[in-house]
Structure 1
Amino acid sequence: MSAHYRTGAEGFARLDGAPDNRGLLDQVAALRWVHDNIATFGGDPGNVTVLGQSAGAGSIAALLVMPAAAGLFRRAILQSLPGTFFTPGLAADVAAEISAELGRAPRAEDLADVAPDDLVDAARSVTMRLPQRVDRWGAVAYTPTPFSPVVDGEVLPASPWAALADGAARDVDLLVGHTRDEFSLLGTRLGDIDDAGVDALLNGLTPTPGAQRYRSAYPSASPNELRDTAMSDWLWRMPALHLAEAAHAGGARVWLYELCWGFNSVGASHSLDTLLLFGTTEIRTGLTAAGPDAMAQARRLSGLIRAEHLSFAATGDPGWVRYTPHERDTRVYDTDSTVARYPEERSRWIWRDRRFDALDLTA
C-alpha cells in the first residue's frame, strides 16, 4: 500500500504553534494503522517493509530513529537517501521567507486561512530563488527543495547517521542503494559551471571534503563533471553509503546496491532504479526511442531488481552478501549484474573522514 502525507510547507515548514515534521507524523499514523489492521487483510504486523526513494528515503531514515515509529516496521528499503536534514534554525529561516511571500508571520495561526494553492505558490517562489540563498542556506541552495526533516530533538531526536551508529533500529533490516549518476538530471538543467564556480560550490558543501580532494581524485574531470560527481556524492551517494555503515556499526543487518545501467546521455540517473523496480521505465522516459536492445535490457533488469527487492521484503534477504565496511560487498545492477566491492571507491575515500549531520544556517 501507499500512504499520502503532508509535503512541502504543510508537512515540513517550521511554524510556531505547530509540531515539527508533520509529514513524518502522518507517516507514523499510517504505519500505526497498518500495524493495527494488517492481520485483518491476511498480513503479518511483525513483517512490515517500508520503501522510499529520495525524499521518501529521507523520511524512512527519520522513521528509523523516531521513538514514535519504533516497532512499526521490520524492514526498510531506502533508495537514494538525501543528506539534507535541517537544524531548527535553518528550517525556521526557510519558513520565515515563505511566510513573508504571503505577508504573514511563520505561525500556524497566521497561515491557517491561507489557501493551499497560495501556500504552494509561495514555496515555489522561494524554491526558484534558492541559488540566491547560498550565502545563508549553504549548499541547500543547489538542491531542488527548501524542505527537509527537522532534527528538532523531540519528534526527530537526532540525525539518522548518529542515531543508527548508536544502535537505533538495530532490529530493522536495511536495503540501501543509489544510482551512479544521481545528479545528472539536475546538472543538465543548471547548465555550465567554470573552475572558480565549481571550487566555490565544492568548498561550500556541508560537510565539505574540499575541492582539492576532488581535483586530486578526478584530475581529468571538467568543471561540469566535477560538479555533477561531487553533488551526486554530497546529496545522495555518500549519505546512503554512510547510513549503511552507521547502521552496520549499530548492529543492523544491511545490504547495499548501486544502479550503473542507463540508456541515454544522463546515464543511471536519479529515480531510474525506482522506475525499474515498478516496471515503469518505458513511460515518458525516452526508453522506447533508445531501441529494442535497451528496452530488452530494461525489462530484464526490472525483473531482477523487483525479484530481489521482494525477496528482501518477504524474507529479509535479497540474495547477495550483506554489506560490511571492510568487504564492501555491493549489488551492482548493470547490463550484466554482479556483486563486487563498492564501485565508487574514489568518492568513498574523499568522504572517508566526513560525517553527515543536520544542516544549519551558514551565516
Structure 2
Amino acid sequence: MLEIADTYGANRLGATAADVFAAIITDRAFRSDTPRIAQSIAAAGAPSYAYEFAWSSGIEGLGACHVLEVPFVFDALAGAHTLTGPNPPQPLADEIHSAWVAFAASGDPGWARFEENSRLAQIFDSPESRVVSDPRGDELAAPRKSVA
C-alpha cells in the first residue's frame, strides 16, 4: 500500500494523508475500470471516448467529485450550488453540454477517440480544458495486490 500512496502523493503535493487515501479509494471504486472498458470498446472496432471532469467545486474542501458534472452536462447551473458552490463557470457548462449534445446527435463529442496506444481523454476544467494521453496512468498502474 505504501508504494501506491507514494505514487498518488507525488501527484498531489501538499495533500493530506486523508486526501491521498480518498483519491486511491475513489480510483479503485470509480476510475480503475474506465481505461479497460474503453480499450475493449475500441478493440471491438467501435468508437470509444473518455473524459474526466476535473473542475473543483467552489465549496471549500469538496474538489472535483462524483456527479459534480451533472448540472454542467445539462447546462442547468441555476440552483445547482449545493455541489458547485455559488459561482460555477458557465463557459465550462457550455463546453461540456455542447460535447454531450454533439455525441448524442452524431456519436462524436468533438475530441479524439480513445485508442490503446494513446489512451486519450478529454479533461474538462476551468479556465481551460484539454486532451491528455493516459491521465494519471501511473496511479492506475501502481501495484494493486496490496489493496484489499
TM exceeding 0.5: yes
Which of 67, 72, 76 is residue 271 of structure 1 equivalent to?
67
Following superposition, the deviation at residue 285 of structure 1 comes to 1.4
For 1:233, give the aligned amino acid.
D
Aligned mates of 1:287, 1:253 — CA distance in 2: 31
Cα distance in 1, alignment partners of residues 95 and 110 from structure 2: 11
Distance in structure 2 (CA, Å) of the matches to 1:237 and 1:287: 21
RMSD: 2.4
Residue 325 of structure 1: which of 104, 109, 116 is its match? 116
One-letter amino acid of the counterpart of residue 70, structure 2? T
Q: Deviations over 1:314-361 (max 9, x none)?
A: 11111111011211211110110111213222222226x88xxxxxxx
Change (3 A) 1:288 1:235: closer
Q: Which has the larger radius of gyration?
A: 1
Instruction: Quote the Cα distance in structure 1 between the aligned partners of 2:83 and 2:49.
Output: 31
SS in structure 1 at match of 2:50: strand
Cα distance in 1 for partners of 2:84, 2:93 equals 13
Listed one character per residue, the Cα deviations across residues 17-75 of structure 1 (whole Å, up to 9, x for unaligned) are xxxxxxxxxxxxxxxxxxxxxxxxxxxxxxxxxxxxxxxxxxxxxxxxxxxxxxxxxxx
Give the drift of 1:247.
1.7
Measured in 2, the distance between the counterparts of 1:334 and 1:277 equals 13
Task: Note if 1:314 corresponds to 2:114.
Answer: no
Could you list the structure 1 runs, at least 4 aligned residues long, displaced by more than 6 angstroms after superposition. Answer: none
1:39-78 superposed matches below 5 A: none
1:224 and 2:24 aligned: no
Given that 2:7 and 2:138 are in contact with CA atoms closer than 8 Å, whether structure 1 keeps it comes out as yes
What is the TM-score of this pair, normalised by structure 1?
A: 0.35
The 1-side partners of 2:16 and 2:68 are apart by 25
Post-superposition CA distance 1:134-188 (Å, at most 9, x none): xxxxxxxxxxxxxxxxxxxxxxxxxxxxxxxxxxxxxxxxxxxxxxxxxxxxxxx
The match for 1:300 among 91, 94, 98 is: 91
Give the AA of the match of 2:71. Answer: L
In structure 2, relative to structure 1, the CA distance for the partners of 1:222 and 1:214 (3 Å cut) is: farther
Residues 223 and 288 of structure 1: CA distance in aligned 2, closer, same or farther (over 3 Å): closer
CA contact (8 A) 2:103 2:109 kept: yes
Structure 2 match to 1:132: none
- Report 1 or 2 for greater relative contact order, CA contacts < 8 Å, sequence distance ≥ 6: 2
CA distance change for structure 1 residues 350 and 274 in 2, over 3 Å: closer, same or farther?
same
Cα displacement string for residues 118-143 of structure 1 (whole angstroms, at most 9, x for unaligned residues): xxxxxxxxxxxxxxxxxxxxxxxxxx
Number of aligned residues:
138
How far did residue 219 of structure 1 move? 4.6
Equivalent-residue separation in structure 2 for 1:339 and 1:286 (angstroms): 25
Amino acid at match of 1:213: E
Distance 1:309 1:219 in 2: 33
1:214–1:226 CA contact under 8 A, matched in 2: no
Shift of 1:279: 2.4
